[in-house]
Structures are given as C-alpha cells and as structure tokens.
Amino acid sequence: MLYWAVVFFLVAIVAGVLGFGGIAGAATSIAQVLFFVFIVIFLISLIFGWRGRSPPL
C-alpha cells in the first residue's frame, strides 16, 4: 500500500510539472488517503503483534 501511495505521489509531481492541475490534485488526494490508511494498518498490526505475544515459560 505504501508503494501505491508513492506511485500516486510521483504521478502528482509529474502532472503538476506538466501543468495538469486537476490530475495532480486527484493523484495527491489518492496518495494522501493511501498513506494514512497504511499508517493506520501499520499501527494496528504493531498493537496486535505486541499484545499477541505470550510470556516465555
């Protein structure tokens, strides 16, 4: 998911440089959403991974 956020960010950069403002804005919005979804899923996996450990016997 982080890969796709970076891809849409690069598309936004290229579109902005070439003067396609609407496409750049849309790609930036998609990249932001994907990045924040990635962060949320990453934090959830950290919390459940940390809580899921059992103490050694």
Tell me whether residue 56 is in a domain. no
Tell me whether residue 12 is in a domain. yes
pLDDT at 55: 65
Using an 8 Å Cβ cutoff, are 38 and 5 in contact? yes
C-alpha separations of 35 from 15, 17, 19, 38 in Å: 19, 22, 24, 5
pLDDT tens sequence across 1-50: 678 888 888 888 888 888 888 888 888 888 888 889 999 999 998 888 87
pLDDT at 20: 84
Neighbours of 34 (CB within 10 A): 19
Q: What's the domain range around 27?
A: 2-51
Total domains in the fold of the chain:
1
- Predicted TM-score (pTM) of the model is 0.66
